[in-house]
Amino acid sequence: MVEVIDGKLVAASVIETVKSAAAALEKMSGVTTGLAVIIVGDDPASHAYVGSKSRMAMECGFKSVQHTLPAETKQEELAALVATLNADPSIHGILVQLPLPKPLDSEPIIQSILPEKDVDGLSVVNAGKLATGDLKTGLVSCTPAGAMVFVRRTHGEDLSGLNAVVIGRSNLFGKPMAQLLLNANATVTIAHSRTKNLAEVCRNADILVAAVGRPEMVKADWVKPGATVIDVGINRVAAPDKGEGKTRLVGDVAFAEVSTVASTITPVPGGVGPMTIAMLMANTVIAAYRKAGQVPPKF
C-alpha cells in the first residue's frame, strides 16, 4: 500500500516549530524575527503568493513588512530599497518576489541581498556553501529544503547506500536538491533532457525526484518498485471532464499509475507546494537565531 505524503500536514508541523522557536527567541533575547517582502508591479499571481507569505509571517509572530512598488520602478530604486533592508537590524530575512517586470534585472538584485538575510537561498554565496557541505552557516533554497524534509521523514538523516536520481538541473531546484541528497550520503545522479535512456536511469532510484515541468512524464515503468517518489512539477493541463476551458494541476509524475509501484509518493497539488512557504518561515527564524548568536532549531 503506497503512502501518500500530506504536504499540508508536514508544512503545518514545520510552522508549529517556527512559531515556538520565534516565541522562544523573543523571550530569551528580546528579538522579534523580521521578514521583509518586496513585490514590484501588479501581477495577480505574484500578489496572491506574497499575500500568503506575509500572512504566514504574521501568524508565526514575525515582524512582517511588505514593500509594494509600481511596475515602473527603476533598477537603482529597487537596489536602494534592498540596501536599506540589508542595513536594518530588525529585518532578518529579505525576499524579492520573482519574476520582476521588464526591464528590471533580477540577478544583481538577488545577489545584493546579504547572504545571511537571503531566506530564498538564491545567492551564489549560499549556493556555494551548500555545494561545499556547509549547512551550518548557509541558507538552503526553500523548495529543495522542503522536499528534503519529506526524504528525511521517510528514510532518516543518513541516506548511505541509497541511490537518488534528480530529474532536472535548474539552479533553483535540481542542483540544490542533488547537493542536499549528497550531503546526506546518498549516491546521486542528476538526469535531464539530454540524458540517454532516462527511464533506465530512473529505474535505479530508491529516491526519485522529478522537477522538469513536463506533465506526467514519469510513468510507472520508470520507477523501481518500493521507491520514494517526490514530484516537484506543477503543470496546468486541460480538463475537459470538468467543463469547457477548465484546467487541472498535475505533476511531472503520472500519479495514479506510479502509485501502484512506489512505496511513498507526493501528490500534486498538496505535496511539495505547501512546504515552500513553510521552509521560507523556517529560514527566516534560523537567520534570526544566528544573528542573535543562538543555536537555531533544526527542521
What residues are labeled active site? 53, 97, 120
The residues facing 68 across adjacent strands are 39
- Burial degree of 214 (CB within 10 A; 0-12, 13-18, 19+): middle
Letter string b/e over residues 63-100, b meaning 16 or more CB atoms within 10 A of that residue's CB:
bbbbbebeeebeeeebeebbeebeeeeebbbbbbbeeb
Q: Which amino acid, one-letter code, is at 33? A: T
Show Cβ contacts of residue 172 under 8 Å, excluding neighbours closer than 6 positions: 122, 141, 143
Q: What is the 3-state secondary structure (H, E, C) of 186-255?
A: CEEEEECCCCCCHHHHHCCCCEEEECCCCCCCECHHHCCCCCEEEECCCEEEECHHHCCCCEEEECCECH
Q: Could you give the C-alpha distances from 274 to 14, 163, 225, 250, 251, in angstroms and in order? A: 10, 26, 27, 15, 14
